[in-house]
Structure 1
Amino acid sequence: MLRNIFGSLLALIGAALAVWSSFRVWYGGRHGTDIRVDDLFTGVGVTPATAALLGSLFLPLGFAALLAVLGVLVRSRTAVGAAGALVLGVTVLWMVRQGQSAGSLTAGGDGLDVGVAAAVGGGALLLLGAAVMRGRTIRRYAEPSAPYPMPSEQPPAHPYADASAPPPPPAAPLDSGYRPEDDDTLTLPPLPPDRPLG
Structure 2
Amino acid sequence: MIRLYLTFVLLVSCFSFGQTTSLLEEINQRQVQQTRNGMISLNAWAGANLLSGGIGFYTTSGDTRYFHQMNAFWNVVNLGIAIPGIIGTYKKSSELTFESVYKRQKQLETIYLFNAGLDVGYMATGWALFNFGNTKTGELRHRFRGYGQSLVLQGGYLLIYDLVMFALFKKSGKKLDTVWKNVTITPTGMGMIISF
Alignment TM-score > 0.5, same fold: no
Question: Which of 1 and 2 has greater Rg?
Answer: 1
Normalization by structure 1: what TM-score?
Answer: 0.41
Q: Higher helix fraction: Structure 1 or Structure 2?
A: 2
